[in-house]
Amino acid sequence: MEISRQLGREAETVALDRAIAEGRIGPPEYAAQVYDLWTDLTDAHVSAAFAAAPWLARIRDVWAEIRSTGDYCAVVSLSPSFFVERLLEWGAHAAHGSGFPAVPFTEPVDPSGVLSAAAKVAIADRLCEEFGVVRADCVAYGDSSSDKELFAAVPVSVAVNADAHLAGLATHSYAGRDLWDAYALVRPAR
């Protein structure tokens, strides 16, 4: 949404968000349509969008705490890879987003690189192998319907500012603006 706001295409993106939430389009269609909205996208737009995004407070503190215990943190999002990968600078061990071409766009988006709910689980499994852990060691945090399969795959999950349906699938639910508070729900058990 922040990228679209930078380009003055917020209304069109709200309509796309509604369409994907209602199941009228899937992630590949969403990516192709948002790609068309972002034809004038520059790295300056992406940087401004990243800075303006409504991030939860204390993300870096949570990730530093996770790292200090010898555990790992990863972000797997349907958002564009060029946006999500910026979270590596904040302390995530891994960051995976939908495969978009580099900005500015000179090639089309490849639908096969667009992530789905199932792809989130596959990436999580690959990361588990890479980090030497198993699903039983994992906690998933999520806020959208694309997190349902991941919540089902791990024993502990936290719905963060999610609708009632997703919150009902999680082992914990958090509403607020501070990731540390969401993390505190499962921290004692870890």
Which tens digits make up the pLDDT trace of 66-105? 999 999 999 999 999 999 999 999 999 999 999 999 999 9
Which tens digits make up the pLDDT trace of 138-172? 999 999 889 999 999 999 999 999 988 899 999 99
Pairing of strands 172-174, 156-160: parallel
**CA pair distance 25, 23, nearest whole angstrom:** 5
Long-range Cβ pairs for the range 150-157 (8 Å, 24+): 150/76, 150/117, 150/120, 150/121, 150/124, 153/121, 153/124, 153/125, 154/124, 156/186, 156/189
Pick the CATH number of 55-189 from 1.20.1250.20, 3.10.450.30, 3.40.50.1000, 3.90.1300.10: 3.40.50.1000
Is the separation of the CB atoms in 5 and 52 below 8 Å? yes
Q: What is the mean pLDDT of residues 122-133?
A: 98
Element (H, E) at 172: strand 172-174
Q: What is the pTM of this model?
A: 0.92
